[in-house]
Amino acid sequence: MDKKKLNVRSLMTFFVAASFLACIVTGIVIFITPQGRIANWVDWELLGLLKDDWANIHIVFSVLFIIAGIVHLYPYNWPTFKAFLAKREKGRLNLKKPRKEVIFALVLAGVLITGAVTKAPPFSYLFDFNAWAKDAWVVSDDYQPPFGHAEEVALAAFPRK
């Protein structure tokens, strides 16, 4: 085995990439899983993992993504990132004059947040597709629980509900 010192900057880059990929995969799975009541009632699973397992993996890798992203940015790439934020004037960064890309990214983020909150088209199309994907798992009334959290009720108490 190579006895060179571990390159933390490279490690953080790979952690960011791996956690980003994991968030993409788990996010897609969570997006298409049935509603919680349905998933719990029929013991829904994909690749041997329940809906809650997929959500837990998503949470863990989201936290890893945040931590690795922060470590990746600071201290290793902070000067480069800072240079992206502002225009150079006389060889120095002028943070009072942000670059047009920064402004564009912030405006776009604002539009995405507003669209998601107001559920305006085309955002509503994404939410409608999400609802359709979740409802597509219910192929018969047998998939519907008789009441909320029915899977948690003891069999002896079931007829009283």
pLDDT, tens digit, 9 for 90 and up, residues 26-41: 999 999 999 988 898 8
128-147 average pLDDT score: 85
CA angle 98, 99, 104 (to 5 degrees): 105
- What is the reported pLDDT for 83? 79
- Kindly report whether the global pTM for this prediction surpasses the value 0.85: no
- Per-residue pLDDT reduced to its tens digit, 77-103: 888 888 777 766 766 667 777 888 888
Banded model confidence at residue 152, pLDDT cuts 50, 70, 90: confident
Q: Is the dihedral of CA 91, 95, 96, 101 positive or negative?
A: positive
Instruction: Report DSSP state, residue 35.
Output: P
